[in-house]
Amino acid sequence: MSVKILVTARFDETALETLRRYGEVEYAGFAESQRVLAGSKLVRALEGVHVLVTEVDQVKGYVLKKTPDLRVIACCRGEPVNIDVEAATDHGILVLNAPGRNGDAVADLTLLFMLALLRHFLPLAAMLRQPGDGMEKLAHAFYDYRGNELWGKTVGLIGLGAVGRRVAQRLRPFGARVLAYDPYVAPETGAEVGATLVGLDELLGESDIVSLHAPLNEETQGLIGEAEFRKMKPGAYFVNTARAGLTDEDALYRALKDGHLAGAALDVFLEEPPPPDHPLLTLPNVIATPHIGGNTAEVVIHQSHIVTEDLVRLFEGQRPHNVVNPEALERFQWPQKLDG
Amino acid sequence: MYESREDLEKVLSRLAERIQADPAFIEASKGKNLVVAMEFPDLEVFFHTRFQDGTVAAGLGEPEEEPTVELVMDSDVFDRIFSGKLNPAKAAMKGDLAFSGNATAAMKFQRTLSDFIRLYQQAKQDVGI
């Protein structure tokens, strides 16, 4: 008898092939089936399953009570928000995650935002489609929308985790100076990606662009409010591809409306999707997208390989890298009937 | 919110009666053919509503056919959504509501939300909860 693996996450074929070397794999990707498993359907789907590779299924405590064969949940997300980790730990089920799966995607979008703000990309891209005299438009574009380069700019990154580090690496060839604020990162780590670690006030006061890359938790909730926006340089830009809860949206609106900040690019809002009359969407100096940071085809490849690498380690008796509940690892074992 | 499975079933049974007789629901069902299933795993209760071109059938239990749209949520989440206190999109984003099925059909169902809320409140009053 071999390990039975149910994969409901979006998953890369080569990673599935790797898993098939270690067990019997059933692939039922939620994107194809348009089915999110929860409640009794999830319980039925997990009958005899030892490893669940999931992305969106609702793995609650009452499900785990009824899935005695389950040993591992590999969650293809940075934060396993769809898993009741405490209940999993109580049942001795190991939970793995996929930190950094969308690091490249979000870092790419962040750079896109920075360049779009500096080059007034949105109004200029719309200009030629608008009615009016072509020469006037040309003059308007040339004189009123002269852009700036990233070269020589100071970019302040708040948070130097998986995304922040990738943003710093991408900024290097542009010739930008990169500052970073992250109380949990050593200066050497910053230096590795070309970022200088500084205090928050120094970062806010010196940066031409401030970009958020911190996780949202009790410590960071509302980190950038009225006082912090006012500490930013007049005419600076603000980018948020992380979480809206890190900021005070009303304070950001005021700082943009009165011209203290030159512009902002936002992929996240407190209410998603924001209604069309959301105050920030009424401002011409705001670029807004509907939380698309991690929405690339390549994220599926990244998440597949991150969790597959850890599952292979587990199958081969090694310690996985990304364990959400290490206390479960201490007493982890495959069912005895699988051994040998 | 619900202290027992029986309390929830009482309200849902009454809700089913009201849905089937409600002119707004009957009107909304015209030209539609969709089945909405709900599961409340904390109390192990199922409920379904079938819209079939001018007729509406609702009741406890799982539908016989594969539902077009399936919603799974705890009973307190259900109560907050159908009391107008919790936005279903927010509940889904937080992982408190699992949605499966045809997204276009779900949008059609969402248009009945205000009527659903109205009838749910009436059903609660009817059974004194």
pLDDT tens for each residue of A90-141: 999 999 999 999 999 999 999 999 999 999 999 999 999 999 898 999 999 9
- The ranges assigned to domains in chain B are 5-122
| pLDDT confidence band for A1 (50 / 70 / 90) | low
- Same domain (yes/no): A7, A108: no
Task: Using only the alpha carbons of chain B, give its radius of gyration.
Answer: 13
| CA separation for the pair B106, B21 (Å, rounded) | 22
pLDDT of residue A10: 95
**Quick one: how far is CA B43 from the chain centroid?**
15
| A339 has a pLDDT exceeding 60 | no
> Phi-psi region for residue B65, left (φ > 0), alpha (ψ -120 to 50) or beta?
beta
Interchain proximity B95–A38, CB inside 8 Å: no
- Same domain (yes/no): A188, A314: no
Q: Which amino acid is at A224?
A: I
- Same domain (yes/no): A164, A269: yes
pLDDT of residue B100: 83
> Using an 8 Å Cβ cutoff, are A122 and A287 in contact?
yes
Question: By C-alpha distance, which of A251, A266, A259 is closest to A234?
Answer: A259
- Same domain (yes/no): A275, A302: no
| pLDDT confidence band for B93 (50 / 70 / 90) | confident
Nearest by CB to A272, which of B41, B44, B93? B93
- Which residue of B47, B70, B72, B93 to mutate against A (max A Cβ within 10 Å)? B72
Interchain proximity A36–B98, CB inside 8 Å: yes
Write down the ipTM of this complex: 0.79
pLDDT, tens digit (0-9, with 9 covering 90-100), for A274-333: 999 999 999 999 999 999 999 999 999 999 999 999 999 999 999 999 999 999 998 898
- Same domain (yes/no): A108, A97: no
Say whether domain B5-122 belongs to CATH 1.20.58.740. Answer: no
Q: State yes or no: is A305 an active-site residue.
A: no
pLDDT of residue B76: 95
- Same domain (yes/no): A185, A308: no
Mean pLDDT taken over chain B:
90
pLDDT of residue B92: 82
Catalytic residue among A71, A101, A120, A243: A243
pLDDT of residue A337: 66
b/e A149-169 (16+ beta carbons within 10 angstroms → b)? ebeebbbbbbbbbbbbbbbbe
Nearest by CB to A38, which of B93, B98, B103? B98
| CA separation for the pair A282, B117 (Å, rounded) | 32
Q: State yes or no: is A291 an active-site residue.
A: yes
- Same domain (yes/no): A95, A173: no
> Using an 8 Å Cβ cutoff, are A39 and B98 in contact?
yes
DSSP H or E segment with residue A104? helix A103-118
What is the count of structural domains for chain A? 2
pLDDT of residue B106: 72
Taking residues A228-232, what's their average pLDDT?
Answer: 98
Q: Which residues of A touch B98 (CB under 8 A)?
A: 36-39, 56-58
b/e A259-282 (16+ beta carbons within 10 angstroms → b)? eebbbbbbbbbeeeebeeebebee
- Same domain (yes/no): A301, A220: no
pLDDT of residue A340: 45
> Using an 8 Å Cβ cutoff, are B34 and B63 in contact?
no
Name beta bridge partners: A237: A209, A263
- Same domain (yes/no): A246, A329: no
pLDDT of residue A105: 98
CA angle (A20, A22, A26) in 5-degree steps? 40
- Same domain (yes/no): A56, A165: no
HSE-CB of A29 using CA atoms within 13 angstroms: 10
Interchain proximity A58–B98, CB inside 8 Å: yes
Helical axes A297-315 vs A103-118, angle rounded to 10° = 150
- Same domain (yes/no): A211, A310: no
| CA separation for the pair B72, A40 (Å, rounded) | 9
Question: By C-alpha distance, which of A288, A161, A80 is closest to A279?
Answer: A288
Interchain proximity A58–B72, CB inside 8 Å: yes
CB neighbourhood size of A172 (10 A): 12
Interchain proximity A39–B99, CB inside 8 Å: no
CA angle (A44, A48, A52) in 5-degree steps? 80
Question: By C-alpha distance, which of A151, A145, A211 is closest to A180?
Answer: A211
Q: Where are the alpha helices (DSSP H) in B39-112?
A: 75-81, 88-94, 103-110
| B78 has a pLDDT exceeding 60 | yes
Q: Which residues of B touch A36 (CB under 8 A)?
A: 72, 98-100
Dihedral, A320, A326, A327, A333 alpha carbons, nearest 10: -10
- Same domain (yes/no): A51, A123: no
Owning domain of residue A35: 3-101+297-338
pLDDT, tens digit (0-9, with 9 covering 90-100), for A152-183: 999 999 999 999 999 999 999 999 999 999 99
| A239 has a pLDDT exceeding 60 | yes
Nearest by CB to A40, which of B41, B89, B94? B41
B41 touches chain A (CB under 8 A): yes
Segment among A115-119, A253-257, B57-61, B91-95 with least mean pLDDT = B91-95
Residue listed under structure tokens 């390549």 = A298
> Using an 8 Å Cβ cutoff, are A222 and A248 in contact?
yes
